[in-house]
Amino acid sequence: MTLAGTELPAGAAVLVAYGSANRDQERYERAADFDITRPGNRQHVAFGHGPHGCPGSQLAREQLRLTLELFIRRMPDLRLDRDLPPPRMRPTLIHRSPQALHATW
């Protein structure tokens, strides 16, 4: 497949760079400038709102809240294990998560 003039072999990983949202030089004059008066701002994709918002984001937040409450209630002494190295984050551009999280209680 060819994407924007670049040949991609079968199985190639493609990263969507969210940081480039609303900076399309073909759509916006001075696209890199912050301009809250720019026409068409109601169609922005920043912060996952509008047509590009994640419909499951509120469910994910609620699941996390309930999970943390359950952990705290069932294991009130749950702590990071200070005898082991601090958590290292996964090398990713999109989601931040630890590779391992060592705990003790």
Q: Which residue has the higher pLDDT, 58 or 18?
A: 58
| Residue 26's pLDDT band (cuts 50, 70, 90) | confident
User: Does 15 have pLDDT greater than 60?
Assistant: yes
CB atoms < 10 A from the CB of 85, how many?
A: 9
Question: Given pLDDT bands bounded at 50, 70 and 90, which one contains residue 44?
Answer: low
Q: Which of 91, 86, 92 is nearest to 100 (CA)?
A: 86
pLDDT at 50 (0 to 100)? 64
pLDDT in tens, 59-91: 888 998 999 899 899 999 988 898 998 888 887
Task: Name the DSSP letter for residue 74.
Answer: H
Under 8 Å between Cβ of 81 and 104: yes
